[in-house]
Amino acid sequence: MSESAKTFLLQSDPILADIIRTLPEPVFESSGNVFMDLMSCVIEQQIHYRSTKKFFQKLLEKAGLTELTPSNFPEFEKKALSGIKISTAKFETILRILDFWSANNIDWQSLSDEQVFEKLSTIKGVGRWTIEMILLFTLGRPDVFPSDDYHLKIAMTKLYGLNPNTALNAQMMEVAERWSGHRSLAVKHVLAWKKGKGDLNSFDKNRMF
């Protein structure tokens, strides 16, 4: 965590500041592999290194692979995918991703967030949440806020006393405004809180709502 980002968040949000002071700094190891993480999101509905079930990781191990690429995908398909049930929609999305990679050679890190969205959104079946996961975890962009993320919704509803039945996304976006510029780091702290703590016992609730 950069000291400037940490200082900004500590000053901007007392709830998040309590999390930063109380819990260890969250560590998310990025694969840097957009192709593999897209496939993981489609197959497991989660990037494999963020998953608790490790389903995609087990598929890689079954295929004898440490990393998935377009060139070794046939091996992955033969040794791992052939033994599981995949919906028609997922299978068609997998084929579209393969077609996209065969037709494009892209330096993803050289693109802006908007350009990444523009490129990946042309693949039918790859939605906004998936692209945000790629930006946040794979490419490590600093200001991503995936308001549709299930775990983020749960955590922010609990931490900030949001009403889950009325315009939850708008409420979340309002909270995230105070993190602007460093929303990715804030999101990672909130997700780490949910995973590792999941309660408010160590925080001053009178400061929160």
CB 81 within 8 A of CB 59: yes
CATH number at residue 54: 1.10.340.30
Q: Please determine, for residue 106, whether its predicted confidence score (pLDDT) is greater than 90.
A: yes
* Residue-wise pLDDT tens digits, 51-76: 778 899 999 999 999 999 999 999 99
Cα–Cα distance between 177 and 186 in angstroms, integer? 11
pLDDT band at 179 (very low <50, low <70, confident <90, very high): very high
User: Structure pTM?
Assistant: 0.88
- Are residues 203 and 172 located together in one domain of the fold? yes
Helix (H, G, I), strand (E, B) or coil at 9: helix
Percent of the chain surpassing pLDDT 70: 93
166: exposed, middle or buried (Cβ count in 10 Å: 0-12, 13-18, 19+): exposed
- Are residues 68 and 23 located together in one domain of the fold? no
pLDDT band at 28 (very low <50, low <70, confident <90, very high): confident
- Are residues 23 and 42 located together in one domain of the fold? no
pLDDT band at 141 (very low <50, low <70, confident <90, very high): very high
- Are residues 49 and 121 located together in one domain of the fold? yes
CATH number at residue 195: 1.10.1670
- Are residues 22 and 43 located together in one domain of the fold? no
Please tell me the predicted confidence (pLDDT) of residue 1: 54
- Are residues 158 and 76 located together in one domain of the fold? no
pLDDT band at 5 (very low <50, low <70, confident <90, very high): very high
DSSP type of residue 202 = T
Q: Return all residues near 120 (Cβ < 8 A) that are at least 6 apart.
A: 38, 126, 130, 131, 134
Please tell me the predicted confidence (pLDDT) of residue 163: 96
Which of 79-88, 97-106, 194-203 holds the top average pLDDT?
Answer: 97-106
Give the domain range for residue 81: 34-138
Tell me the mean pLDDT in the region 26-44: 91
3-state SS track over 149-179: CHHHHHHHHHHHCCCCCCCHHHHHHHHHHCC
- Are residues 45 and 103 located together in one domain of the fold? yes
Domain boundary (138, 160, 179) is at 138
- Are residues 149 and 200 located together in one domain of the fold? yes
Distance of CA 172 to the CA centre of its chain: 16
Q: How many domains does the chain have?
A: 2
Q: Please determine, for residue 205, whether its predicted confidence score (pLDDT) is greater than 60.
A: no
Please tell me the predicted confidence (pLDDT) of residue 161: 96
Find the angle CA(99)-CA(39)-CA(87) to the nearest 5 degrees.
90
